[in-house]
Structure 1
């Protein structure tokens, strides 16, 4: 299954372009599923896949229902602890979703698609996902890996081997040990997150950016490009939305069109040919029907377009070190659009904590670099180089 993720600045027309992409995929003969938080105009709003056209289904993400179901299930599983504490149960009708619930609900829906929960519908060739605005979308795509890391740190799998000793350990420590259901729940969540992470990192997954030409969008796209590069993601198409007709006789209208044309020229120069720029014409109003969405002529996903590449980090050997000592190593990462003042690096054990503006990533060091100390970092020509000096006490000798 090919997955197309659609994001862009808020108000740029992400849902419109996602729906137009899904319609184009279905028109090309692919069995297609569109997943979005809000139903596009003319689309059904059911939370289960519902037919739109002959080869296109749509499923809406209901974050409120997902939040209530998850919390109700958690209360059932933790009933023994809650009864022991005398805690009152929360009724599903009184639960109001908390911040972060929409993101978790979307991950849950992606997990269902990844694991083939909707195979009864005949299966799908293409999955189109309408993501939140760019900054939130990048954080969302990184979330499965981050949550799995947290689970491994908080409930290491190797501790499950000691479950037979828990009663004894509880008496010695004087505090109750985590119940087996907690480890089982963690393992189940880890498996679900792994399925979503595999979908995001699959070579058949591509990402489309949507932006309305203008100065604000240019800044947003620069930030987006940096955040995508940090997480090893790349766009296969940039859709310029609401493009005005050129050469109008109206001075006010012509000035807006000229501003758009200037911005589009920069985008074609900066992004193409690696990332084609598609200009979706302004219809004079927001699209109201699937036919008007199809009129935007957003291209269908091309199976020949490569999806997510391998992790972009690479290692370079720098100038030789001290006599008979190993050379210094540089760990390199392309970060187009990044600014030095937005960078922050922290080494913690075998991990590197990297912050670039609003984006964060924790990277596990390659085995060779774990035997080194960080001796510097530099950002030049859009590439971050972190310099590592081998630790004589840990680096293997060659004599």
Structure 2
């Protein structure tokens, strides 16, 4: 009997010990059996000392923590995700290898006061969020101790210069995002990504580039390329010819006025091309989109295109959607849209153009009757002229109303 009582007491004490050890720290919010611990925006000035030992995700963001001592995360052998953003940390805030934790996979150092990439980062981490910091330059030593990084987000910093070899150590990187910085022509070398042969996504969104980057030495593994919102005016011929695995290109909301013939030559895996809200005014010819045999979606709305030649889309045998709303189109030659060549074409947007609804586009109005689901929003395609039909939409007109005098 005494042995049974003793055993029960021991078991109870053991259970109590584990319960106390895994209690949620004061001011923090713990979820999923204390594996996710939210201590963010609580006003704390140091890392809690009683963190649950089974913590997997720890959020310490947006507090008043000044430094991280070496043993701050001692015993957290399952810690994988550590969020430290918004504490105004500097490079010297992590004491004596405080982040040398082999289990960490994701680290957030955003919203700090870093002028360089901190050293002494987790040895096996794969994701680094490093945005909204005052850093202006990446050096050849920035990532020398972080070869395990696969996803690197450098958005919303003050980057003006990427020195040669800065990204060389990141041989496992699949995504590098340098959007919303201050990069200009010459800020980085054409060889900047030559060592990143596993790179799939590369983003330069909303920088100040005026010339389309020289991509000759960019890794051929790239599948997504983004230069949205820059000051680039011309997409030159053969600009991306070596990036034969590209699947999507985004260049919307920029300053592009001209797309040269054969600009996308060689990109026979590209499925999405987005030029929305640029300033393209160049004539679209049968060579503008030459080689885009796999393209499914072409977004060209809100530009200044006034002429599309017959044959422009004929080589795009996989095309499904064509978006040309809000351009300067007044007329189109018969055959610009030809289902004989574009058998998969199911959506065309042509609304908000200054159409001259005469006999020259009667074929287009007839196409609406022949294929009712093909041309979208016909009620928003309004004739600018001639006078008898000016102000009327295609939805209320019939092909016989499209006449020449």
- TM-score interval, smaller chain: under 0.3
What TM-score, normalized by structure 2, do the two folds share?
A: 0.21
Return the structure number with greater relative CO, CA threshold 8 A, min gap 6: 1
**Which is richer in helix?**
1
What TM-score, normalized by structure 1, do the two folds share?
A: 0.21
